[in-house]
Structure 1
Amino acid sequence: MTNEINAILEEFNFQKSTLIPVNGIQLEVFEAGQKNAGKPIILCHGWPEHAFSWRYQIPTLVDAGYHVIIPNQRGYGNSSIPKEVTDYDIEHLAGDLVSLLDHYGYEDAIFVGHDWGAMVTWWLALLHPTRVKGIIALAVPYQVRGDRPWIEWMEEILGSDYYFVHFNRQPGVADKILDNNTTQFLRNLFRKNVPHNTPEPGMAMINLAKSKNPQGEPVMGEGELAIFSSSFKSTGFTGSINWYRNLDRNWHQLANKNPIINQPALMIYGDQDVIPKFEGLSAFVPQVEEVSLDCGHWIQQEKPADTNQTILAWLAKNG
């Protein structure tokens, strides 16, 4: 499998990365299109992913004239994995991206984020608005700060087994199970055309890690899956799960920020995704364009051509 992994990494030009010191840590960063210096676009992966999740977008963005920068964010890949839970709050995560801009000498950039990467990108625009030229978010719309901390609200509405809540209330439990079932968990999670069944009892991510019968169809081949799997076998899941363990801390850190995002934005939903659309998004992001694709949660990997076409059309107007 090692030879197959290396061949796939080489096919997608992911065999070389650089460790860049930022914000007191090191980020593993992949780059393409250095010839396009001056037009940066930074791609931010979600959970439980890797910079490799953007493999289909990179050549298209380079051809469109962009300097494409793809970090493995803290807790992932060969990037630093701080021990303290609070080192994964939004001030640290946003600070990493600002420091990355500083490293390259850029005042601002277009940020593209999927899943947790989208959440960080939205909040980055609140914390450092002058550093964000535009936003492209996939799967996760802007999360408005309500009157109550997020985990407290989720626990009341969605219950203690909801995975956001479980990660916070039972630290270490899910981490160990995912670590012990890494490949099976990721194989069961990265699926498309999954039927909308009634949720089974228990914590969904733990159930996926233990299940022998995945539903739907695989998003990627076994060789590509092995890239994600080998990464998490090396790092474990705790660093990446610690992002979830800072949601209420983030709620406090965002308390005094203007909740309106004024940058131009593109929101790409998957029609089959379990994450609901935000019907009132334009009230908080006045310059947003919303697009839906016929896919599930793993948008840019399920529908790479449609995703690329949607992004290019928006960049032609806003890039």
Structure 2
Amino acid sequence: MFDPIDFPKPTLVSVNGITLEVFEAGRENVGRPIVLCHGWPEHAFSWRYQIPALVSAGYHVIVPNQRGYGNSSRPTEVTDYDIEHLTGDLVALLDHYGYQNATFVGHDWGAMVVWNLALLHPKCINKVINLSLPYQERGPIPWIAFMEQFFGGDNYFVHFNRQPGVADAVLDENTFQFLRNLYRKNVPQSEPEPGMVMINLARAEQASGMPIMSDSELAVFVKAFESTGFSGSINWYRNLDRNWQLLEAVNPIIEHPTLMIYGDRDVIPKFEKLTEFVPNADVISLDCGHWIQQEKPEQTNHAILEWLRKQTTS
């Protein structure tokens, strides 16, 4: 297991009208930037196993806690978490370090931001690597309305939007229990319980499956969310329909060289039409669940580094 003491020390960087807490490593490799973007409810620390491997491979590694997380700014306006703001933060972060473009790696919600960065600011990315969350097709119906129609009001995306503040309060009251119960692997198959899954997890006294991290690793996440609460991070979900509107006139095709890494046991389905929207995508699947880079760090590192090596030699 990883010792949190070994994680890079943060710096606070002013970008795009806010402050981001950024963890940086490999400055000796200036000129080869790679930016790692975490998901929900995560933290830059979720990339702890990738940072040293990337530095050893010659990369300047930049890992922000994105807005709403850790010691980064947490604006109070919900619309300050829309996709224009989230991608704008990354564009400004590149500018801060003096880079015109970089390789961007995203997991979960971080992948959503990276996909949209490629759409909205294509010149800022030279390569895309995304984990867990594939490209999301913009259909004729706004995303939350679509999910409500198909999955009902208890779907947590829908619940976050239709009942603002309700889940936030439950997660805030049960931070340790929620994160302990969420970060698991090899969870037995079972019928879904009635109610909203994230609230159920926060209230469950017993955890299923096996932990994916040590107590000291989990404590990093728990301490961060006990400090910030969950509302800032959940506000990302509350902009899905706004994002759908903002993307209306955007060309949906991503031409960048792309690596998509799936977890075969992830609840997020694979996107069969991926290469229709991302024609230069390579796809890899690992035998794991949703928390890919934390569940299978060595395999994840190998997949990323091998793919990057092929891109530079081809």
State the TM-score, normalizing by the size of structure 1. Answer: 0.96
Counterparts of 1:123 and 1:75, CA distance in 2: 18
| Unpaired stretches in structure 1, ≥5 consecutive residues | 1-6
Query: Which deviates more from structure 2 when the two are superposed, residues 169-178 or residues 188-197?
Result: 188-197
State the TM-score, normalizing by the size of structure 2. Answer: 0.98
Among 157, 166, 181, the residue aligned to 2:159: 166
Deviation at 1:8, TM superposition (A): 3.1
Matched, 1:120 2:113: yes
Secondary structure of the residue aligned to 2:178 is helix
Counterparts of 2:275 and 2:188, CA distance in 1: 30
Residue 82 of structure 2 corresponds to 89
Residue 108 of structure 1 corresponds to 101
Among 3, 8, 12, the residue aligned to 2:3: 8
Matched, 1:72 2:65: yes
- CA RMSD, 1 decimal: 0.9
- The number of aligned residues is 311
Q: Which deviations, in whole Å up to 9, do the C-alpha atoms of 1:57-100 show, x marking residues without a partner?
A: 00100011100000000000000000000000000000000000
Residue 39 of structure 1 corresponds to 32
Paired residues for 1:245-256 under 5 Å: 245-256=238-249
Counterparts of 1:13 and 1:158, CA distance in 2: 39
Deviation at 1:212, TM superposition (A): 1.0
Deviation at 1:13, TM superposition (A): 2.6
Matched, 1:274 2:274: no
Counterparts of 1:106 and 1:218, CA distance in 2: 38
Residue 235 of structure 1 corresponds to 228
Among 189, 193, 209, the residue aligned to 2:186: 193
Residue 143 of structure 1 corresponds to 136
Q: Which deviations, in whole Å up to 9, do the C-alpha atoms of 1:84-132 show, x marking residues without a partner?
A: 0000000000000000000011000000000000000001100000111
Q: Percent identity?
A: 68
Deviation at 1:195, TM superposition (A): 1.8
Residue 301 of structure 1 corresponds to 294
CA contact (8 A) 2:175 2:222 kept: yes
Q: Which deviations, in whole Å up to 9, do the C-alpha atoms of 1:223-247 show, x marking residues without a partner?
A: 1100000000000000000000000
Counterparts of 2:269 and 2:113, CA distance in 1: 18
Counterparts of 2:159 and 2:238, CA distance in 1: 10
Residue 41 of structure 2 corresponds to 48
Residue 224 of structure 1 corresponds to 217
The AA in structure 1 aligned to 2:235 is N
Residue 4 of structure 1 corresponds to none
The AA in structure 2 aligned to 1:13 is F
Counterparts of 2:186 and 2:50, CA distance in 1: 22
Paired residues for 1:169-188 under 5 Å: 169-188=162-181
Secondary structure of the residue aligned to 1:233 is helix
Counterparts of 1:293 and 1:186, CA distance in 2: 23
CA contact (8 A) 2:4 2:216 kept: no
Counterparts of 1:153 and 1:36, CA distance in 2: 45
After TM superposition, which residue ranges in structure 1, 4 or more long, deviate above 4 angstroms? Answer: none
Deviation at 1:194, TM superposition (A): 1.1
Counterparts of 2:99 and 2:310, CA distance in 1: 21
Among 117, 123, 130, the residue aligned to 1:130: 123
Q: Which deviations, in whole Å up to 9, do the C-alpha atoms of 1:195-251 show, x marking residues without a partner?
A: 222211100000000001211100101111000000000000000000000000000
The AA in structure 2 aligned to 1:96 is D
The AA in structure 2 aligned to 1:299 is I
CA contact (8 A) 2:26 2:61 kept: yes
| Unpaired stretches in structure 2, ≥5 consecutive residues | none
Secondary structure of the residue aligned to 1:257 is coil
CA contact (8 A) 2:179 2:222 kept: yes
Counterparts of 2:119 and 2:246, CA distance in 1: 11
The AA in structure 1 aligned to 2:137 is V
Counterparts of 2:149 and 2:7, CA distance in 1: 45
Counterparts of 2:73 and 2:11, CA distance in 1: 13
Deviation at 1:38, TM superposition (A): 0.4
Counterparts of 2:243 and 2:148, CA distance in 1: 17
CA contact (8 A) 2:175 2:225 kept: yes
The AA in structure 2 aligned to 1:288 is A
Residue 210 of structure 1 corresponds to 203
